[in-house]
Amino acid sequence: MEIKLNMFQLKLIAAISMVIDHTAVMLGTDFMYYMPMRTIGRISYPIFAFLVANGWNKTHDKTAYISRMMAFAAVSEIPHLLLFGFEKNAGLFNHVVFFTLLYLLVFICLLLYFAVNEKQNKITYISFSAFYFFMPFFTGRRNVLYTFTYSMFIMAFIDSIKKVPYINIEKGKIPILSVINKNNIILIPLMLAPTLISGEYGFMGALLIVLLSKSINKNNAFSAFFIVLWALNEYIINLSSITFFIPVLLSAMLCLLYNGKKGSDKKYVFYVFYPLHLFILGIMRIFCF
C-alpha cells in the first residue's frame, strides 16, 4: 500500500519534532539525552518551511497570511525569550546608530506596504507591528516565525514583479522597470536587512521557503532536493555536523510523500500551539531547572 501524507499530518510530525527539540533546551545541556533530542528536532524546520511555502501558493489572501504570521511572531516573542533567554550583548546601547536607523526604515517601509496593500487586516497589523519589530531589537532574539514572515516579503516582492507588464524594446519603447511602482518599491529595503527581520535559521532559512514555493507545484522531488541542498549548507558546511544532517533527509522524504491535500482543517491550532508550548517550557525552565 502506498503511503501518502496530507498537510495536517506533516504539521503534526513537525510539531512533535519541535516539542522534543525545545524540551531538550528546557532540560539543559547536562541532560543525558540533550543531543539526541536536539537531533530529532532538526526534522521540524524543513517540514514547516515546506508547509509555509505550500500555504503561500494556495492562499487567496496573501496580505492576510503575512499579517497573521506577523501577529503570531509578535505574540511568540516573549515565550521564546522565556525559553531561550536573552542573547549575549543584546540591547539598545549595543547597537550602532546606523542599524537603529535601518531598523526604523524597515518598520516605516512595512507600514507603507500594508497601507498600500492592506484592506481587511489593518487593525491586526497596526496592533502588532511595533511590538513585532522593536521587541527583538531589545532582546537580540527572534523566533522562527520572523523567518517565515521575511520569506513572505521576498515572495510578495517576486509576485509583484510578475504582475508588471514589459514593453517590447524592438518597437523603440523603454521597458517598464518592474520595481518602480507603489506596490513593490517599498519592499526593496526589506531585501537589504535580513539580519534585522529574519529569526532562527536566518536568511538561508527564508531562502529555502522561497525556493520551495517555486518548486512545490512542479514536483515534490524538487522540494526534497532544495531541502537537502539547504541542509548541506546549514549542517555540513557551516556546522560540520553529519548528525544534524541525517534527520533532514527524513524531512525531505516526508515532504516527498505529500499528497497535496489539506487533511484536518485546524490551522489556527498550530499557530496557537507555537507560542503556548514555548511559554509552558519557558516557565518550566525558569522555575524547575
> In DSSP terms, which residues pair with 5 in a beta bridge?
258
Per-residue pLDDT of the chain (289 residues; tens, 9 = 90+): 567 899 999 999 999 999 999 999 999 999 999 999 999 999 999 999 999 999 999 988 887 788 788 878 888 888 998 899 866 544 444 444 555 566 566 666 666 666 555 555 566 666 666 666 666 666 667 899 989 988 988 888 777 766 655 544 444 444 444 445 555 565 666 666 676 678 899 999 999 999 999 888 777 899 999 999 999 999 999 988 999 999 999 999 999 999 988 888 777 888 899 999 999 999 999 888 6
Q: Give dist(CA 35, CA 12) in Å, integer.
A: 22
Sign of the CA dihedral running 116, 120, 262, 8? positive
Q: Where are the domains of the chain?
A: 7-288
Q: Which three cell numbers stand for residue 224?
A: 526534497
In contact, 258 and 7? CB cutoff 8 Å: yes
Mapped onto helix, strand or coil, the DSSP state of residue 4 is coil
Residue 171 burial by Cβ neighbours in a 10 Å radius (0-12, 13-18, 19+): exposed
Q: Give dist(CA 18, CA 269) in Å, integer.
A: 15
Question: For position 75, what pLDDT does the model report?
Answer: 82
DSSP secondary structure of 48-85 = HHHHHHHHHHH-S-HHHHHHHHHHHHHHHHHHHHHHH-
Question: For position 168, what pLDDT does the model report?
Answer: 47
Q: Report the predicted TM-score, pTM, of the whole model to 2 decimal places.
A: 0.83
Q: Give dist(CA 94, CA 88) in Å, integer.
A: 10
Question: For position 150, what pLDDT does the model report?
Answer: 87
Q: Which three cell numbers stand for residue 93?
A: 546601547
Q: Give dist(CA 127, CA 121) in Å, integer.
A: 10
